[in-house]
Chains A and B, each alone.
Chain A
Amino acid sequence: MLLMFEDHHKEHLSFLTDTDIDVVKEFCRISMDFIRKGANPKVYLGAAQKLKVEPETVQHGVEGLMYLLTESSKLMLNEIDFQDSILTLGFSEEMRQTLLQLYLQNRKEIRTILSEMSMDLPHYHNLEWRFDVQLGSRSLRRQTTPTVLFKLHTEESGLRETTVLQTDPVNLVHMTKVLDEALQEIKSSYCRRILRNIK
């Protein structure tokens, strides 16, 4: 799979093809910083003064690199596809190698950032449990009712939530059995065949 660039992206990145390799490296560093923490326009002004160009040109250059890195990571391009994709942008061999290294070094981190931005469902975070025996209540004394208390911690988009639940040993056995079936299902030949074929 190759990454397709639109004309204005090529134009934005073309500024970098005429600069020094050190400038490209610095731009790469800034791009990664911005992907991690969000853009900081002050950096554009400083860099523009140093390079004696318009701040907008710098901004386009950085944004072009950010787009290149995030799109390639999103598509999980392999080494060869990444190199072939940037071939059309007019970078020198040395610069292409620098970009490739940058991409390979940061792909995992960018994918983590992207996965955090993806749609999130309340998901399991932790489960605490406690075993109690209920001995009495207002309406019934002299009981020995075994109960299991759970505190389920779930997380959705960074927000933690806790739910207190309880169950009894019989239902706990049932629950464990059903969830174990769920776990076995993924090992079934049907699931393994599907998983193997989706690449």
Chain B
Amino acid sequence: MELCQSVLDGVALAGEATHIPDVCFQHFITKTIEGVLDKSSRNTIKDDKVFNKLDKSILKEAYSGVLSLLLEAAKFDAETATLSAILEECKFTQDRIDILLQLYQEKKLFIQILLGNIGTSPPHIVDVDWRLDYYIKSNQLEKVNEPVYLISLKTEVPGKTDLEEVQFSCSLEQLQFLLAGDLEQCLLTSFESIGA
């Protein structure tokens, strides 16, 4: 995990009691993490009354520094020792290091889930709908009398809020084959591999 100088400068600003006083340090870190996890509180730190008396440009730099540090730490799943070494270099007091590490540990998993969702992937199947029809006749052919399944796979596509659908039909034999042949094999493999 490597951080560039501008990030380290920002972090160092957050560590200085003259810029971010001890009384509002914990609130500052909490707001920063909230800004990552909750879309609606993104950048609300600038209007926060607690930081009324602080220099806005310094607050901004400190915020972006700590934000980058926390995101990088979560991205690399950094050990607390690594993180505290960086903070010591940035002249953080032990109290401030403890506060930051504690808040980070509490929310690390949530930040990682969020980071894991970034990126591309094929449409992800989350549900399936089915409909069973009995095909009796058509304009070309009578007495067909075959069951037909209409399957609709509901998928989540990265970057889109609505679910999308993949639809297809299959005969009874095909569905049996699909289930017994493919899906169950696939299930067995998955669970063997992850040791569940």
CB distance from B61 to the nearest CB of A (A): 23
Would A171 and B125 count as touching, CB distance under 8 A? yes
Q: List CB contacts (< 8 Å) of A25-54 with chain B.
A: none
Give the complex CA separation of A74 and B130 in angstroms: 29
- The reply on B17 being an interface residue by CB < 8 A is no
Count of A residues near B, CB < 8 Å?
57
Q: In the complex, how many angstroms separate the beta carbon of A76 from the nearest chain B beta carbon? A: 4
Interface flag for A105 (CB, 8 Å): no
- Interface footprint category on B: 35 or more
Whether B175 contacts A166 by the Cβ 8 Å rule is no
Chain A residues 73-98 with CB under 8 Å of chain B are: 74-76
Residue of B with least CB distance to A115:
B141
Asked whether B151 lies within 8 Å of A172 as measured between CB atoms, the reply is no
B112 an interface residue at 8 Å Cβ cutoff? yes
Selected interface stretch from A8-16, A56-64, A135-143: A135-143
Q: Is the CB of A123 within 8 A of B169?
A: yes
A137–B119 contact, CB under 8 A? yes
Contact in complex: A114, B77 (CB < 8 Å): no
A194 with B166: in contact, given A117-B140, A179-B178, A186-B172 (CB under 8 Å)? no
Report the bound CA distance from A101 to B74 in whole Å.
77
Cross-chain contact B166 with A163 (CB below 8 angstroms): yes
- B107: shortest Cβ distance to chain A, in Å? 15
Q: Are B125 and A175 in contact (CB under 8 A)?
A: yes
- For A149, the chain B residues whose CB sits under 8 A away are 122
Take A137-B119, A154-B168 as given contacts and tell me if A179 and B190 are in contact as well, using a CB distance cutoff of 8 Å. no
Q: Which of A129-167 contact B (CB under 8 A)?
A: 129, 131, 133, 137-143, 145-150, 152, 154, 163-167
Per a CB cutoff under 8 Å, which of B77, B125, B168, B193 touches A131? B193
The answer to whether A176 touches B144, judged by C-beta atoms less than 8 angstroms apart, is no
Smallest distance from the beta carbon of B160 to chain A beta carbons, Å?
15
Cβ A137 vs Cβ B166 within 8 A = no
A128 CA to B134 CA, complexed, in Å: 28
Q: Given known contacts A76-B143, A123-B169, A154-B168, is B175 in contact with A182 (CB within 8 Å)?
A: yes
Select one of A74, A75, A176 contacting B179, CB under 8 A: A176
Interface residues of B in 68-123 (CB under 8 A from A): 74-77, 112, 115-116, 118-119, 121-123
5 sampled A-B residue pairs with Cβ under 8 A:
A115-B144, A124-B168, A133-B193, A146-B194, A195-B145
Known: A154-B168, A164-B122, A167-B125. 18 other contacts (CB 8 A): A76-B142, A76-B143, A111-B141, A118-B138, A119-B139, A121-B169, A141-B77, A142-B76, A142-B77, A152-B166, A165-B155, A169-B191, A172-B186, A174-B128, A178-B128, A178-B130, A186-B147, A195-B134
Chain A residues packing against B (C-beta within 8 Å)? 74-76, 111, 114-115, 117-119, 121-124, 127, 129, 131, 133, 137-143, 145-150, 152, 154, 163-169, 171-176, 178-180, 182-183, 185-186, 191, 194-195, 198-199
